[in-house]
């Protein structure tokens, strides 16, 4: 049975791994990048805390000695369901079963000025570009004698009060406090302002009120200016325009305000739901299709009684759906009854700053150093490759002990 998986994120990769070694299935994983990425740590790459190689791993190396797994480098162009094939940027592939696991992309909500000038944080390219941007702005601030321009170059606005926005804000605040006087003695820490803008009435919206309060408290202590119930509406000529009529002069706007599922050309419109997500049944089968499935952030499943409006777009959901679909494909081949997917919530967590984090478990909450240590452990475990785990742990230890990571390199990859 030929299975084609589009997307090598948490969902697609876990599906492939659970089908590995099974001679019944010939699996081809398709991705526009030749590596698996661990997105939860992208913000640490963008703030020069860890190397990009710590959170990436080549698919082909991963598939070594796995006879039934193959990799195809290419971007999906169209699904031709009538012919059981897909068109990619590097040729066509036929399938018996197609699995869509392409995840999400940045949602700018139709705000053209923001899409054109803001800095997203969804890919390795985004992270490196943001790091370049921050370091180049610091170099410009050193050279300018205009106090207004110097202030604008050092001001940073983060739009989005979710985990990524909170984590970026905390990391940048600590980076400025510990590095400005060391690397840029010409600049004053007081001239650098970090603003976290959230349209919600609390930070870390999906988490508990205790986590929300702790995040606000820690960021406020770090000097981050948090503005709740406020949205960013435009970014014009270096000015960030807010929904309350305010305006912040800033050379950097980091956009973490939302995501939207990636489009799949060839699928009928009636199977596309809220947020561009693909509507699936309890077995993750696409609405109206017989041999097309969707898993992870890209799908919208409303059959789980505990999540009637769809599952949260989290790594754990994607991982569990990948495992469940692998089991169901084996059942499908042997003529057994399929098992409906049901998400088991293992809790959520967010790091706020050095030694500060929050952890929400189904029946418990904790914060501070214990939560921070749990966060470190949980984020090392899923990293692909033993070498990556060791390098990540070493980089974390060195950076935390010295408060002076040596990764502040200005690299200019092609756009």
Q: How confident is the model at residue 406 (pLDDT cuts 50, 70, 90)?
A: low
Q: How many CB atoms lie within 10 A of CB 234?
A: 16
What pLDDT is recorded for position 378? 81
Please give the structure tokens belonging to residue 58. Answer: 């080549």
More confident residue, 214 or 375: 214
Cβ(14)–Cβ(20) under 8 Å?
A: no
More confident residue, 388 or 68: 68
Instruction: Give the separation between CA 108 and CA 235, rounded to whole angstroms.
Output: 12
Unique residue bearing structure tokens 């952890």? 359
What pLDDT is recorded for position 182? 83
pLDDT-wise least confident of 65-79, 274-288, 347-361: 347-361
Asked whether residue 414 carries a pLDDT value surpassing 60, the answer given is no
**What rounded mean pLDDT belongs to the chain?**
92
Please tell me the pTM assigned to this model.
0.92
What pLDDT is recorded for position 362? 85
What pLDDT is recorded for position 373? 86
Instruction: Give the separation between CA 27 and CA 404, rounded to whole angstroms.
Output: 44
Mean pLDDT, rounded, for 243-262? 96
What pLDDT is recorded for position 188? 75
Instruction: Give the separation between CA 354 and CA 177, rounded to whole angstroms.
Output: 12
pLDDT-wise least confident of 8-12, 357-361, 371-375: 371-375
3-state SS string for 81-133: HHHCEEEECCEEEECCEEEECCCEEECCCCCHHHHHHCEECCCHHHHHHHHHH
What pLDDT is recorded for position 409? 83
The domains located in the chain, with CATH, are 2-32+74-106+259-334 (3.50.50.60), 112-257 (3.50.50.100)
Asked whether residue 379 carries a pLDDT value surpassing 80, the answer given is no
Instruction: Give the separation between CA 254 and CA 393, rounded to whole angstroms.
Output: 27
What pLDDT is recorded for position 285? 98
Give one DSSP letter per residue of 7-26, joined into a string.
Answer: --SHHHHHHHHHHTT-TT-E
More confident residue, 326 or 346: 326
Mean pLDDT, rounded, for 382-388? 73
What pLDDT is recorded for position 111? 96
pLDDT-wise least confident of 151-160, 229-238, 356-365: 356-365
**Range of 129-133, 174-178, 377-381 with top mean pLDDT:** 129-133
CA torsion sign, 191 to 251 to 145 to 185?
positive
What pLDDT is recorded for position 113? 97
Cβ(19)–Cβ(63) under 8 Å?
A: no
pLDDT per residue as tens digits for the range 6-36 = 999 999 999 999 999 999 999 999 999 999 9
Mean pLDDT, rounded, for 258-282? 96
What pLDDT is recorded for position 2? 98
What pLDDT is recorded for position 413? 58
Give one DSSP letter per residue of 143-193, joined into a string.
Answer: H---HHHHHHHH-EEEE--SHHHHHHHHHHHHHHHHHHHHH-TTS-GGG--
What pLDDT is recorded for position 309? 94
What pLDDT is recorded for position 392? 79
DSSP state of 336: P
Cβ(138)–Cβ(176) under 8 Å?
A: no
Asked whether residue 354 carries a pLDDT value surpassing 90, the answer given is no
What pLDDT is recorded for position 279? 98
What pLDDT is recorded for position 408? 83
Asked whether residue 190 carries a pLDDT value surpassing 60, the answer given is yes
């Amino acid at each position: 049975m030929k299975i084609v998986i589009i997307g090598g994120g948490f969902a697609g990769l876990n599906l492939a791994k659970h089908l590995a070694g099974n001679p019944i299935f010939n699996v081809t994983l398709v991705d526009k990048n030749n590596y698996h990425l661990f997105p939860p740590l992208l913000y640490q790459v963008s703030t020069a805390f860890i190397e990009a190689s710590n959170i990436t791993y080549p698919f082909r190396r991963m598939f070594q000695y796995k006879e039934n797994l193959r990799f195809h480098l290419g971007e999906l162009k169209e699904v031709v369901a009538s012919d059981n094939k897909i068109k990619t940027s590097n040729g066509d592939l036929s399938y018996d079963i197609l699995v869509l696991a392409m995840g999400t992309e940045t949602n700018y909500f139709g705000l053209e000025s923001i899409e054109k000038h803001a800095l997203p944080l969804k890919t390795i390219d985004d992270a490196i570009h943001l790091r370049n941007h921050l370091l180049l702005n610091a170099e410009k601030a050193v050279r300018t004698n205009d106090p207004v321009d110097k202030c604008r170059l050092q001001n940073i606005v983060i739009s989005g009060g979710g985990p990524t926005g909170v984590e970026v804000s905390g990391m940048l605040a600590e980076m400025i406090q510990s590095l400005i006087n060391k690397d840029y003695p010409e600049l004053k820490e007081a001239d650098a302002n970090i603003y976290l803008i959230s349209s919600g009435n609390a930070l870390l919206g999906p988490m508990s009120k205790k986590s929300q309060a702790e995040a606000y408290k820690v960021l406020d202590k770090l000097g981050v200016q948090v503005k709740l119930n406020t949205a960013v509406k435009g970014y014009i000529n270096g000015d960030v325009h807010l929904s309350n009529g305010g305006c912040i002069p800033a050379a950097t706007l980091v956009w973490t305000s939302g995501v939207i599922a990636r489009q799949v050309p060839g699928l009928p419109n009636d199977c596309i739901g809220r947020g561009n997500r693909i509507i699936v049944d309890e077995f993750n089968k696409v609405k109206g299709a017989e041999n097309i499935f969707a898993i992870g952030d890209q799908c919208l499943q409303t059959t789980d009684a505990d999540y009637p409006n769809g599952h949260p777009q989290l790594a754990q959901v994607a991982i569990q759906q990948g495992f469940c679909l692998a089991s169901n494909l084996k059942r499908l081949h042997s003529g057994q009854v399929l098992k409906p997917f049901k998400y088991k919530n293992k809790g959520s967590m967010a790091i706020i700053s050095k030694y500060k984090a929050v952890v929400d478990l189904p029946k418990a909450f904790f914060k501070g150093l214990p939560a921070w240590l749990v966060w470190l452990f949980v984020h090392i475990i899923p990293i692909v490759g033993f070498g990556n785990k060791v390098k990540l742990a070493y980089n974390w230890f060195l950076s935390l002990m010295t408060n002076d990571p040596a990764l502040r390199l200005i690299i200019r990859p092609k756009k």
